[in-house]
Every structure is written in structure tokens, then in C-alpha cells.
Amino acid sequence: MSPHVRRAAIAAAAATLVAGAVYGSAQAQEDTSQGPSVQQAETLRDAASASGRFVGTAVNDGRLYDGNYSSIVASEFSSVTAENVMKWDTVQPSQGNFNFSGGDRLVDFAQQNNQQVYGHTLVWHSQLPSWVSNGGFNAEQLNAVMENHITEVVSHYAGQVAYWDVVNEAFNDDGTLRQSVFQQTIGEEYIANAFRAADAADPNAKLCINDYSTDGINAKSNAMYDLVSSLLDQGVPIDCVGFQSHLILDQLPSDYQENLQRFSDLGLEVIVTELDIRIQDPADSSDLQRQAEQYQQVVSSCVAVSGCAGVTVWGISDADSWVPGTFPGYGAACPWDEYLQPKPAYDGILTGFGG
């Protein structure tokens, strides 16, 4: 397997802080002075860079023209992930018709602010257009559809996207393979086929498999470990494993760091890709302090594992979090509150990186 080395580019992106550089109008630039974190003497971005890692966030495309929001993204983070605009139903809503406008906006924003782009996601059972999920394709046809989608998307962003979540959420919680349309129609080889197609389209991008509830050593993470070991044995071009880390307050696995380490020991990068820590409503000051400590523990675990390339939080503000809509009765999961004010969690992340 040929190495996919972008460390120099990533380090350069993480090392350069362009304070107040925002996307859009002059009004947005005026608003940067109101962003609370722009006033900080040290940012998450500075601290992560000093540790040799990136710190990222998922970006809500609809908020990029909000000056306060975009100034925080620009100044605090060295990596950006598209929350939704690079997913299949947005990029190829009908067969052969590609829409890259949202993804292009994020790439433009990242280039203006010396950030890397983390591509999310190429093959996933969710947010698929019906022409894929209910298309009635046989194995050969669906494999061709999948490989064409990967080729078109990765080629479009070749040289502009540092990492790709190539296959997302391939497992059930018990460690069996999820019976997605790809698994049911093509079989397990769809995973290796997807990585090979992505590698052919951009040999310099780092290619990851990503999942949730794999944060500790359990049936699901053991299955992931066996799969990536097998892929490596087959010479499949896989570079990294993403641990989503959608956590619940006071339920951080005690073997979190040990789990990251065993994947790193395979010679792969490990990345915390979608970190948030949800709290049962209503969150009080004690909850927020414990949340900060647990954010710090996650980040410190990454810093302690030499192969951990970085940490991405899944969104900035509680106002934009996916948590309340998905887990009723829970919220307050992000590092900034609904008014874009930093919470104790912000300091926890900063401290975790050594800031």
C-alpha cells in the first residue's frame, strides 16, 4: 500500500492563524470583533498545532454568512468538515447530476482561512437518494454506481480535501455488518472497492473508515479492528479510522485511550471525528464542569496517542446541534452555547491540547 502523506500540508494549515478572516461581506468582517473567542490570547487552533494535531469542526453551510459564526470557525479551527453538503443526497440527488455548490463553498472558505478540508462522506446507508437505495440495481450495477459516485466526487476535490470518510457506519452495535443496500447487494467487498476507487481518484488524500459507539473496546470496535486488519492484509489503501465519539455525560469509556492506541498500533492514523458530549436537560453548572473535564479527557487521550492526528467537534453551538432533535431530553452538547459564548467545554478542549 502506498502511503498517503499530507502531514506537511496539515501542519502548515494548523500552524497558521488568520484571526478575523471570514467568509463573505465586509459586514461579516466587522462582526469578527464580536466573536468571543477571537479575543482569546490562545485559540484551540494554536494549542492543537503546538501538539502537532489539527482541531476541526463540522460546518453548517447555512451559517457561513453569519459573521460571528464564521469568525469562530476561521480563528479557532484548522480543519473543517461539511456537516451535510458533501453527502450523497446533496451531491448527486439524481443519477448523473452532480451538485458541488455547497462543498465548493466550504473549500473556498477553508482556503481563505488556511484550513484543511475533511470530506464527509462518500458511502453511507443514510441520506441516500431513493434512486440509489431503491434503485433495484444488481451487484455489478450498484458497484458501478458507487464507484462512479466516488470517482466523480473525489476527483472534483482532488488536491483540496485532505481526508475522506470513505465508508461511514458499516457496523451494527453487535459487531455485525449493517445490512445497507451496499452490503445486501454487493456484499462485504463493497468496502474494499470503495477505498480502491477513492485512492484511484486522489492518491494523496487520506482515506478513513468512520463509525460511532466504537469509542471503547467492545463488540463493535473489535469488529472494526478485525475489518481494518483484514483490509490492510489485502493491501487495500486505508489510512485512518475515525471514532465519532458522540458521548453522553459521565459515560466516557475508561479504555478510550487504550482503544485508540490499538488501532494506531496497526500503523493507521486515528481521529476523533464527531465529538460532542450530550447532557440530560436541564444542564446545570456542575454538569457543564464535568462535561469540560470529559472533553479534556478525550482530547488528552488523542494527544497521548502518537498516531492520533486530530479532534473534530460536531458543531460549534448548542443552537445548531443535532442532539436535541435526535435524542429528546438531551442537549448542551457543544463547546459554545446557543449565543455563541464559549462554555467550560471550550477550556477543557484547550487544556486537553496543552493550552
pLDDT tens column, 220-232:
999 999 999 999 9
Q: Average model confidence (pLDDT) for the chain?
A: 91
CA–CA separation, 223 and 212 (whole Å): 13
Largest CA distance in the chain: 57
Check residue 5 and give its pLDDT.
Answer: 36
Mean pLDDT of 114-136: 97
In a domain, 110, yes or no: yes
- CATH code of the domain covering residue 260: 3.20.20.80
In a domain, 1, yes or no: no
Q: Which of 186, 190, 62 is nearest to 122 (CA)?
A: 190
SS3 18: coil
Total structural domains within the chain: 1
Active-site residue, selected from the candidate residues 169, 188, 258, 269: 169
Q: Residue 35: pLDDT above 70?
A: no
Check residue 355 and give its pLDDT.
Answer: 87
In a domain, 2, yes or no: no
Is the separation of the CB atoms in 283 and 331 below 8 Å? yes
Q: Which residues, at least 6 apart from 97, have a Cβ–Cβ distance to it below 8 Å?
A: none
Q: Residue 52: pLDDT above 60?
A: yes
pLDDT tens column, 136-167:
999 999 999 999 999 999 999 999 999 999 99
| Residue 214 belongs to domain spanning | 7-352
Q: Check if 147 is active-site.
A: no
Pairing of strands 54-59, 308-313: parallel
Q: Check if 169 is active-site.
A: yes
Is the separation of the CB atoms in 17 and 43 below 8 Å? yes
pLDDT tens column, 56-67:
999 999 999 999
